[in-house]
């Protein structure tokens, strides 16, 4: 089970976020989901959106973020980076330049929760960049179509929200969703995120057919306690290896 740790680039400060990224690596994470803060993080849940906004308030210059990320990639060339970007950020940087940056720094995949610009998506894919696609329990036809047309991994909702429960979508939905994607011909990896709060959730994801998991707010609450943060990462890492 691949363990992917989310990093809010620039939060709580530029240098502190780099220290956290290094801690992630030394604690054993398999990949880092590295975000650049958008002007309006409306897609993300409030807890993470707040961190993005604080990072943006402290530094709104993407050149600084890219420079720091490039430095990290050169120091840790064997660490997989998944770049989390809003469509607005992709367009501001330009798909061509962004693709060149990714190639130069060994970044293969971009994950975006709101990338609907087909021209930008096509340009990135033409440049050899993998585009990860997200999938919710609702499994609307347009969501399935978007996942099928992507060339990167699938970011699948891990656990049901309260709304899902109210509408009759429970934990068994994850297994059904992954099976549906396989039936549609999706052979790319399925990594699950959102709602993971216990190491036991990792076993549930694996039993449902997931091949990896994301940790976000579960880790961010320990940003000021590095020893505890490392301990939590190792705990989930062990759960992914033994589940």
pLDDT tens, residue by residue, 55-110: 999 999 999 999 999 999 999 999 999 999 999 999 999 999 999 999 999 999 99
Give the pLDDT mean for 150-172: 89
The pTM of the full predicted model, rounded to 2 decimals, is 0.94
Asked if 86 and 69 count as a contact pair (C-beta separation under 8 A), the reply is: no
* 197 vs 202: CA distance, rounded Å: 9
* 96 vs 193: CA distance, rounded Å: 29
| Residue 243 confidence (pLDDT) above 80 | no
Beta bridge partners of 4: 31, 214
pLDDT digit string (tens) for 37-69?
999 999 888 999 999 999 999 999 999 999 999
Give the pLDDT mean for 192-206: 94
pLDDT digit string (tens) for 204-231?
999 999 999 999 999 999 999 999 999 9
């Amino acid at each position: 089970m691949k363990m992917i740790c989310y990093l809010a680039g620039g939060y709580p400060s530029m240098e502190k976020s780099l220290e956290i990224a290094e801690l992630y690596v030394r604690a054993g994470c398999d990949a880092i989901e590295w975000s650049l803060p958008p002007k309006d993080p409306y897609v993300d849940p409030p807890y993470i959106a707040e961190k993005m906004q604080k990072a943006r308030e402290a530094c709104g210059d993407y050149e600084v973020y890219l420079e720091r990320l490039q430095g990290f990639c050169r120091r840790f060339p064997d660490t997989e980076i998944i770049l989390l970007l809003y469509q607005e950020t992709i367009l501001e940087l330009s798909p061509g330049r962004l693709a060149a940056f990714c190639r130069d720094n060994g970044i293969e995949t971009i994950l975006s929760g709101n990338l609907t610009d087909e021209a930008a998506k096509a340009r990135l894919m033409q440049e050899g960049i993998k585009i990860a696609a997200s999938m919710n329990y609702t499994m609307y036809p347009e969501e399935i179509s978007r996942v099928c047309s992507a060339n990167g991994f699938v970011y699948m909702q891990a656990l049901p929200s309260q709304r899902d429960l109210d509408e009759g979508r429970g934990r068994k939905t994850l297994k059904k969703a992954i099976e549906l994607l396989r039936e549609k011909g999706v052979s790319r990896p399925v990594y699950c995120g959102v709602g993971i709060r216990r190491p036991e959730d990792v076993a549930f994801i694996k039993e449902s057919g997931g091949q990896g998991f994301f940790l976000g707010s579960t880790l961010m609450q320990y940003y000021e306690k590095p020893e505890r943060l490392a301990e939590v990462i190792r705990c989930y890492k062990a759960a992914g290896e033994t589940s």
